[in-house]
Homo-oligomer: A and B are copies of this chain.
Amino acid sequence: MAALFVALIHYPVVDRNGRIVTSAITSLDLHDIARSARTYGATAFFVIHPVAEQREFAGRVLEHWETSHGRQFDSRRQEALGLIRLVTNLDEAIILAEQIAGSPPLIVYTSARPSGGVGYAELRARLERADGAPVMLLFGTGFGMAPAMLERADLALAPVLGPGEYNHLSVRAAAGIILDRLRGR
């Protein structure tokens, strides 16, 4: 199986009015997405934030779970949070992923907006190839990634849809669902 990386983008994202903003790191995003990343065999989970104070906040959340208190409460939690790498920007995440996996990752943009995009079966098949390039899935916070991030990606993934048109999922649910579609048993 090709190596799979997850990246959570806090800048550049858009707010409800489509303005480019930096979103705050949310503790529960780290926990939920790390647990999903671990469940679906991701190699690392990059939490990307340009502001040092925000990365330090995230670092303190992780430290808590590395201590004996956190580990005693739930050792499986630490196993998931151990996947997290706090980085400043996407370039840094890509460099680290290449160091870990041995070749540069294919960057995959995810979005709830209808955009065409490659289907799940196709990306899943690519991930299952033993000689496949590593893949990095980008997830946006706030009201989604800024359009500029799409230009950084090698391909866009089709949006997750249910039976109707409403698909306003939380990033925590969307990341779990997309990982399940790509790597679920």
Contacts and interface: CB of A to CB of B under 8 A. Distances in A.
Interface in A134-185: 160-164, 166-170, 172-177, 179-181, 183-185
A113 to B, nearest CB: 13
Given A76-B168, A176-B173, A180-B180, A162 B41 contact: yes
A168 B80 contact: yes
Contact of A36 (B31, B39, B173, B185): B173
A76 to B, nearest CB: 4
Nearest to A175: B173
A28 interface: yes
Nearest to A16: B74
A76 B166 contact: yes
B35 A173 contact: yes
A35 B32 CA distance: 16
Interface string A29-51: 00110011011110000000000
A112 to B, nearest CB: 9
A79 interface: yes
Nearest to A164: B41
A48 to B, nearest CB: 20
Contacts of A166: 38-39, 76, 79-80
A1 interface: yes
Given A31-B170, A35-B168, A170-B172, 6 more contacts: A41-B162, A41-B164, A79-B166, A160-B180, A161-B185, A176-B177
